[in-house]
Amino acid sequence: MPNPTRLSKFISLVLRHRANDFDLHLDSQGFVEFSDLKRLVDEKSTDVYSEEDWRKVLNGELDGKKRFEVKDGRIRALYGHSKVERVTYESVTPPEVLYHGTTPQAEKAIRREGLRSMKRQYVHLSENTERALNVGERRTDHVRLLVVRAAEAHHAGIEFYSPEPEHYLAQNIPPQFIDFPKE
């Protein structure tokens, strides 16, 4: 029986990190021909995926996280690229506040330097606390929830992007726009 989660993980691996290993060539924004990716999956997988399986994976229906963008017959991973230039998105006006879950250790540096993209292309922010806490829990059992005054930061010139609902990106957020939990 086909496993759509395995399909999603394989597509993520290929599009984020290993396209060249499979003779796929990403453009500067991380896009590759969808037909080439589909052919690769058909060649490498022992599973046979239906159009319904592909739809679920591409629309983020497995776990509510949209990981891919399909546009003009091409596909890319929305986040996590290690092999392409900075992926660009259209600038948006963010909501009043956004949230970021982090570790107690990282909070110390964020208080001094703000949220920085570090090894990622962007800082990831959530529209709701639940999602921010879930992200933080990947790294610690003691999540520190930061409140980003996104509208205020936007008015000060910080650009925000939203490649999927409830998920926002920015290159950096200075500490003056962040409300920290009480120590």
Q: Above 70 in pLDDT, residue 93?
A: yes
6-23 in b/e burial notation, b at 16+ Cβ within 10 A? ebbebbbebbbeebeebe
Q: Is the pLDDT of residue 118 over 70?
A: yes
What burial class does residue 35 get, using C-beta atoms within 10 Å of its C-beta: 0-12 exposed, 13-18 middle, 19+ buried? exposed
Chain CA centroid to CA 146, Å: 18
pLDDT at residue 83 in the model: 60
Question: Has this prediction a pTM greater than 0.75?
Answer: no
* 162: its two tokens: 């939203």
CATH number of 4-77: 1.10.10.970
Question: How far is the C-alpha of 74 from the C-alpha of 55, rounded, in Å?
Answer: 15
Nearest to 161 by CA among 173, 178, 175: 173
Tally of CB atoms within 10 A around 77? 23
pLDDT classification of 82: cutoffs 50, 70, 90: low
pLDDT of residue 81: 64
> Could you give the CA distance from residue 6 to residue 3 in angstroms, rounded to a whole number?
5
**pLDDT tens digits, residue range 130-173?**
989 988 898 889 999 999 999 999 999 999 999 888 889 999 99
Question: Would you say residue 75 has pLDDT above 70?
Answer: yes
Residue 117 pLDDT class (50, 70, 90 cuts): confident
Q: What CATH number should be reported for the domain whose range is 91-179?
A: 3.20.170.30
Average pLDDT over residues 60-73: 85
Q: Quick: pLDDT tens for 9-62.
A: 999 999 988 888 899 988 888 889 999 999 999 999 888 999 999 999 998 887
Q: Has residue 116 got a pLDDT over 90?
A: yes
Q: Where are the domains of the chain?
A: 4-77, 91-179
d(CA 80, CA 150): 22
Q: Are 95 and 151 in contact (CB under 8 A)?
A: yes
Q: What pLDDT is recorded for position 114?
A: 96
Grouping H, G, I as helix, E, B as strand and the rest as coil, residue 95 is coil
